[in-house]
Amino acid sequence: MGIVNRRITLAARPVGEPTEADFALVEAPVPELGDGEVLVRTRWLSLDPYQRGRMSSARSYAAPVELGEVITGEAVGEIVESRTRRHSPGELVVGPFGWQEWATARAGSLRAVSGAAPPSTSLHVLGMTGLTAYFGLFDVARPRPGDTVVVSAAAGAVGQVVGQLARMTGCHTVGLASAGKLEDLTETYGYDTAIDYRREDLAAALKAACPHGADVYFDNVGGAVSDAVSRRLAVGARVAVCGLVSQYNLAEPELAPRNLGFLIVSRVRMEGFLVTDYRHRFPEGLGRLQRWVEEGRLTYREDVVEGLEQAPRAFIGLLRGENRGKLLVKVADA
């Protein structure tokens, strides 16, 4: 086609916090289309903390990105050419297109963009992060009305949805975030209490916010913040372990006092999960999330960065908690 495909590739495996030098902006030909595939022009990239794990060679639930390869990730793209009857040019689809302007993908890896909301929401509240909140909260943490639900990274892409879903369930919601996002927690996402997780007296703030203990802890961060919440768990509490973003940039594991006694003292269930294990139930989750968005019961906030070349810098900021809402890179206009 003669068009240049700009791509962000992994130039080096980050040690500790990633730097822009760990990424390279390269130009390549637009990929060749095979049978059963579509060619898409990327519109929106989803930037998510789990992608830090892909940049490392450590064992995980998915293969790492190889050096020199494009950074993997979900994106929204517009189909430009199709060699499958299931899709036609002009359609907007979500798929594993990665950090590049043009991508090919097999029809089976695509999901239609929801028509009822802006296409970018299919990467967020009507996509992976909304589904992560939905299944992590309802299937793993299983809140009941009257429960106190604590959420870490509560203003993040997943946390903002978790708080609203917990509130819809009749729970008392307590959100942890950095100081600049506390107003978003209470004003936008409806948290009953917002706590600056960096404050010195975090234990006292948690005690005041959860006088009867926390029945559910939806954990996106791990580390010392989670240690503090662990000490406030109520008998029979459930901890849904969604992410451990406080740990992702550590070159060596952090040393911390062993503290798992709370599991026995409070008979706690702590459970990790991956949203992809619920793939067979995505239609259920997306249907409900979409209805709640349409009814105005579920809101969301996007933090949009313009231009593929900005993705590395935005991703570095994401791991520092600099984003305000779901972080997206707008690669091309409609």
Q: Does 241 bind a copy of itself (CB under 8 A)?
A: yes
Q: Does 259 bind a copy of itself (CB under 8 A)?
A: yes
- Which residue in 68, 112, 247, 291 binds a copy of itself (CB under 8 A)? 247
Q: Does 277 bind a copy of itself (CB under 8 A)?
A: yes
Q: Does 57 bind a copy of itself (CB under 8 A)?
A: no
**CB of 258 vs a copy of itself, minimal distance in Å:** 5
Q: How far apart are CA 329 and CA 327, in angstroms?
A: 7
**CA proximity to 191, closest of 153, 140, 247:** 153
**CB of 160 vs a copy of itself, minimal distance in Å:** 20
**CA proximity to 113, closest of 126, 103, 104, 125:** 126
Q: Does 274 bind a copy of itself (CB under 8 A)?
A: yes
H or E segment and range at residue 218: strand 214-219
- Beta carbons of 227 and 160 less than 8 angstroms apart: no
- Which residue in 81, 91, 192, 271 binds a copy of itself (CB under 8 A)? 271
For a copy of itself, the binding residues in 215-234 under the rule CB under 8 A are 222-223
Q: Which residue has the tokens 């942890």?
A: 176
Q: Does 64 bind a copy of itself (CB under 8 A)?
A: no
Q: How far apart are CA 89 and CA 173, in angstroms?
A: 44
Q: How many CB atoms lie within 10 A of CB 177?
A: 27
Size of the site for a copy of itself (CB under 8 A): 34
For a copy of itself, the binding residues in 288-327 under the rule CB under 8 A are none
- Beta carbons of 246 and 106 less than 8 angstroms apart: no
**CA proximity to 221, closest of 199, 248, 196:** 248
**CB of 251 vs a copy of itself, minimal distance in Å:** 12
Nearer to a copy of itself by Cβ, of 176 and 298: the residue is: 176
Task: Copy the structure tokens of residue 83.
Answer: 């060699």
Q: Does 59 bind a copy of itself (CB under 8 A)?
A: yes
Q: Contact residues for a copy of itself (CB under 8 A)?
A: 59-61, 222-223, 241-244, 247, 252-274, 277
